[in-house]
């Protein structure tokens, strides 16, 4: 039976950092200790700035710890559409920013002596049938125009199943993302920086030439600039929650009975299947990712998502064991480009979001852009990623459509709450909206032992209704992607406050 935790978060001897418990003054504050935040912090510290990093949980424990660990500018079949939609200069900026991020990561691996299994490898999009080859050929033409290391090949020699062909980006990489983040954190501290875990931010405000934040752990930081690298900005003056959509994807780590492919692969068409070698799994280790859906989709958020991945893996590979299973979240923008830069209506707060499941390269590119903005240095990619942009007509249409969908969900959920299930019908190991005497409709989970945990069914972000995620035993909000534990504690934003605990004997606690 596979363990239900991210494969990258299994090391037992990791360094831990004390929560922020006192006031600090710094040149720069970074919120979030994933790849975007820690890269930003280290680049600033290298320029002589004193930097403080605050992390709500642990270093690399968020989306960075749930990625495939692919480091590549090959992001599926995106570049032909990007040229047609945004023009060649913008597409080239995105391509070059991500390709430069691949090189920057290798440089930082070397400089920090990161023991993170960094390995150069090709990244390939494979076509299962000849009908998909036209798309690969068009993508190759677009990628080549943008200066990317693209080529078309026939059947790769390392795949155990037949394909029609593949688009190959040479000299990309894969690595252990959390060990890499650990190395960045250690290097930051060696340069005089500070890292505080278990330090969730509860407020951020600008006062003249300073930014001040307060943490739930009791401390505060005053700094000249703040970089918010929290997947989706928790202080959202730019309306990013309304301009992005949250999605979850599922991963499994397995051992085969023979060596895995040396390259990194992703399918050209649905259902998306992505895989790469897993060095910690020995000579036969491999990772598969796929089964994406929008966060909060109660019908799709179930253990069957892993089952589908395992079925596909067994069909195409000689699988010995499945060792780990997990899922992760990311946000996608309406126009396909991340939002990176100065947050609207602020002077000294920078944000990065909307990486569309390619956050290791996009997050590193974003870190370079944001640190240049802090330092007052011109960055050639900043304009294309600009955080305050509205987008093209197609993006505006999608934003309107997405928010109309959110409005329908808000109303539909309110109707659903009028007829919840009886609490007595809740089975062990199940969570659902239920009717509780004296408390109305609540979100309740019955443990296998029979104990019930009940919390408010109303998301603390903007008041939508949470839904049970049977795959991960969490309460998820479909409106904007906030997630909460069974006890109501925040797992991921944009919500900053936990769900209210409900005492089923006497109402809200």
* Domains, in order of start, for the chain: 13-385 (3.50.50.60), 416-508 (2.102.10.10)
Q: What integer pLDDT is reported at residue 67 of this predicted model?
A: 95
Q: Residues with Cβ < 8 Å from 344, sequence gap 6 or more?
A: 237, 238, 239, 387, 388
Q: What integer pLDDT is reported at residue 390 of this predicted model?
A: 78
Q: What integer pLDDT is reported at residue 495 of this predicted model?
A: 85
d(CA 469, CA 300): 9
Q: What integer pLDDT is reported at residue 368 of this predicted model?
A: 98
Could you give phi then psi for residue 323, rounded to 5 degrees? -105, -35
d(CA 423, CA 253): 37
Q: What integer pLDDT is reported at residue 507 of this predicted model?
A: 42
Q: What is the pTM of this model?
A: 0.92
Answer whether 358's CB lies under 8 Å from 94's CB.
no
Q: What integer pLDDT is reported at residue 413 of this predicted model?
A: 59
Rg of the chain in Å (alpha carbons): 23
pLDDT per residue rounded down to tens, the chain (509 residues): 689 899 999 998 899 999 999 999 999 999 999 999 999 999 999 999 999 999 999 999 999 999 999 999 999 999 999 999 999 999 999 999 999 999 999 999 999 999 999 999 999 999 999 999 999 999 999 999 999 999 999 888 899 999 999 999 999 999 999 999 999 999 999 999 999 999 999 889 999 999 999 999 999 999 999 999 998 887 767 688 878 888 999 999 999 999 999 999 999 988 899 999 999 999 999 999 999 888 888 788 888 999 999 999 999 999 999 999 999 999 999 899 999 999 988 999 999 999 999 999 999 999 999 999 999 999 999 999 998 887 766 766 776 776 666 666 655 656 566 677 888 888 998 888 888 776 688 899 999 988 889 999 899 988 889 999 988 889 999 888 899 999 999 888 888 889 999 887 644 43
d(CA 34, CA 31): 9
Answer whether 245's CB lies under 8 Å from 409's CB.
no
In the numeric block, which tokens belong to residue 437? 């005497």
Burial class (CB in 10 A: 0-12, 13-18, 19+), 73: buried
Q: What integer pLDDT is reported at residue 399 of this predicted model?
A: 65
Q: Residues with Cβ < 8 Å from 275, sequence gap 6 or more?
A: 260, 261, 264, 265, 266, 286, 287, 288, 289, 313
């Amino acid at each position: 039976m596979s363990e239900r935790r991210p494969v990258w978060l299994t090391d037992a001897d990791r360094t831990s950092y004390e929560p922020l418990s006192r006031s600090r003054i710094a040149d720069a504050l970074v919120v979030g200790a994933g790849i975007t935040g820690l890269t930003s912090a280290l680049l600033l510290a290298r320029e002589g700035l004193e930097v403080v990093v605050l992390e709500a949980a642990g270093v690399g424990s968020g989306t960075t710890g749930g990625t495939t660990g692919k480091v590549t500018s090959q992001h599926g079949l995106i570049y032909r559409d990007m040229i047609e939609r945004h023009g060649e200069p913008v597409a080239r900026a995105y391509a070059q920013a991500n390709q430069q991020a691949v090189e920057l990561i290798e440089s930082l691996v070397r400089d920090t002596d990161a023991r993170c299994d960094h390995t150069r490898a090709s990244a390939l999009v494979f076509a299962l049938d000849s009908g998909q080859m036209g798309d690969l050929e068009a993508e190759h033409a677009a990628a080549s125009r943008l200066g990317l290391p693209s080529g078309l090949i026939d059947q790769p020699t390392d795949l155990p199943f037949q394909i029609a062909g593949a688009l190959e980006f040479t000299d990309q990489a894969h690595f252990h993302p959390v060990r890499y983040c650990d190395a960045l954190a250690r290097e930051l501290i060696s340069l005089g920086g500070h890292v505080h875990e278990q330090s969730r931010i509860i407020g951020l405000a600008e006062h003249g030439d300073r930014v001040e934040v307060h943490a739930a752990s009791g401390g505060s930081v005053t700094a000249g600039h703040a970089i918010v690298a929290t997947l989706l900005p928790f202080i959202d003056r730019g309306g990013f929650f309304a301009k992005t959509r949250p999605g979850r994807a599922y991963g499994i780590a397995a051992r085969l009975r023979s060596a895995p492919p040396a390259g990194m692969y992703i399918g050209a068409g649905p259902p998306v299947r992505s895989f790469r070698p897993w060095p910690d799994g020995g000579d036969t280790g491999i990772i598969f990712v796929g089964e994406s859906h929008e966060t909060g989709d109660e019908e799709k958020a179930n253990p069957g998502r892993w089952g589908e991945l395992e079925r596909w893996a067994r069909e195409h590979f000689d699988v010995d064991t499945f060792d780990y299973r997990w899922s992760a979240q990311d946000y996608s923008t309406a126009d396909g480009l991340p939002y990176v830069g100065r947050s609207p209506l602020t002077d000294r707060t920078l944000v990065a979001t909307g990486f569309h499941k390619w956050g290791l390269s996009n997050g590193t590119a974003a870190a370079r852009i944001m640190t240049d903005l802090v330092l007052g240095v011109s960055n050639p990619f900043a304009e294309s990623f600009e955080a305050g942009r509205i987008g093209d007509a197609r993006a505006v249409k999608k934003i309107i459509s997405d928010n109309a969908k959110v409005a329908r969900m808000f109303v539909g959920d309110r109707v659903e709450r009028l007829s919840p299930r009886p609490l007595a019908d809740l089975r062990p190991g199940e969570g659902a909206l239920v009717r509780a005497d004296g408390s109305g409709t609540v979100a309740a989970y019955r443990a296998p032992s029979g104990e019930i945990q009940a919390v408010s069914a109303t998301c603390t972000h903007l008041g939508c209704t949470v839904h049970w995620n049977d795959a991960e035993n969490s309460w998820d909000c479909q409106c904007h992607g906030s997630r909460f534990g069974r006890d109501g504690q925040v797992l991921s934003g944009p919500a900053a406050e936990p769900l209210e605990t409900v005492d089923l004997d006497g109402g809200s606690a």
